[in-house]
Amino acid sequence: MKAKVNEGCISCGACVAACPEVFRFNDDGIAEAYAEVAPEYEKPALEARDACPVSVIDVEE
């Protein structure tokens, strides 16, 4: 499973809080997915996607 943060992140921190194993802030304060989603983190990664207030996170098989 892979995650991607598209343009439009408002730096709210919800995804980083929900799944820090996949999401982090880059040097510009924008969230990025920095790791493949390991099986044990699929659920929190999907929760992070659903928690994004501007719906800019894609999670794909």
Binding site for ligand SF4 (CB under 6 A): 5, 9-15, 31, 51-54, 56-57
Q: Report the nearest approach of ligand SF4 to the CB of residue 22 (Å).
A: 11
On the CB side of 41, how many CA atoms lie within 13 Å of its CA? 21
Q: Which is nearer to ligand SF4, 35 or 51 (CB)?
A: 51
DSSP-assigned beta bridge partners for residue 43: none
Q: Report the nearest approach of ligand SF4 to the CB of residue 39 (Å).
A: 22
On the CB side of 18, how many CA atoms lie within 13 Å of its CA? 18
Q: Which is nearer to ligand SF4, 14 or 59 (CB)?
A: 14
Residue 39 CA to its chain's centroid (Å): 15
